[in-house]
Structure 1
Amino acid sequence: MEIYSVYILKCRDKTYYTGITSELWERIEQHQSGKYKNSYTFSRRPIELVYYCEFTEPDLAIEFEKKIKSWSQVKKEALIGGKYEKLPNLAKKRFK
C-alpha cells in the first residue's frame, strides 16, 4: 500500500510551501538541495519541514493539500502548532 504525505515547509523568508508526495524524505532532500531551479523553494532555502500527515488514499491527500494551500498563514500556523480547536474560527471571515 502506497503512502501519500501532505507536507508544509517553512522557507527562509518565513513563507510556507505545501506539497504532496509519495516519497517524503526524498522530496524534502530535493527541496533542500535545490534540485528544481524553477521551484518556489529554490531561492528560499534553507527550508524546514514543519508539518506532515499521511494518507493511503491519493484523492484525500490531494484534497487536503488543496485545502491547506488556500489557508492563511495564521491558519497554517495553527495546524503546524497542533491548535486544531482554532482552525474552524480561522476559517471565518471577519466582518466590520
Structure 2
Amino acid sequence: MNSNKTKKPCVYIAASKGRGVVYIGVTSNLSERIWKHKHGVTEGIVKKYNVNQLVHYEWFETMEEAASRELQLRHWEWAWKNELVTSSNPYWKDLSHELW
C-alpha cells in the first residue's frame, strides 16, 4: 500500500458489480477502507450487497471539507451520482489498483 498517497481526507464512491448498489463514504485512509470493503470487514449495506468496487474518489485538505462533500453527495439524485462517476470513469471500472 502507498500510505503516503492514501492517508489523506477523501470522499469515495464504492459500487457493487453492475452498478446495483452504491456507497458514499469518507475516510482518512482510502487504501485501508477499500481493503475492508473487499474483504467483507465492513458490516451493513457494504457486506450485504458486496459493495467492493472503488469507482470514484476525491482528495481534500481537511476532514471537514471531505465530510461536507460526503453529505452533499449523499443527498444527490441517482442520475447526478451516475454522471459524476461516469465523467471520470465511463465504464465504472474498479479503481482500487491505483491505491497500491
TM-score interval, normalised by the smaller of the two chains: 0.7 to 0.9
- 2:23 counterpart letter in structure 1: Y
Matching residue within 17, 35, 38 for 2:41: 35
CA drift at 1:58: 1.3
Structure 2 residue 31 is the aligned partner of structure 1 residue 53: no
**Runs of 4+ deviating beyond 4 Å:** none
Q: Within 5 A, what are the aligned runs for 1:17-96? A: 17-36=23-42, 38-45=43-50, 47-82=52-87
Whether the 8 Å contact between 1:7 and 1:52 is mirrored in structure 2 is yes
User: Alpha-carbon deviations, 1:60-96, whole Å to 9, x = none?
Assistant: 110000000111111101111228xxxxxxxxxxxxx
SS state at 1:34 partner = coil
Normalised to the residue count of structure 2, the TM-score between the two structures is 0.73
Normalised to the residue count of structure 1, the TM-score between the two structures is 0.76
Query: What 5-or-longer segments of structure 2 have no aligned partner?
Result: 1-6, 89-100
Based on CA coordinates, which of the two structures has the bigger radius of gyration? Answer: 1
CA drift at 1:39: 2.2
RMSD between superposed Cα atoms in Å: 1.8
Where is the helix percentage greater, Structure 1 or Structure 2?
Answer: 2
Query: What 5-or-longer segments of structure 1 have no aligned partner?
Result: 84-96
CA drift at 1:46: 5.2
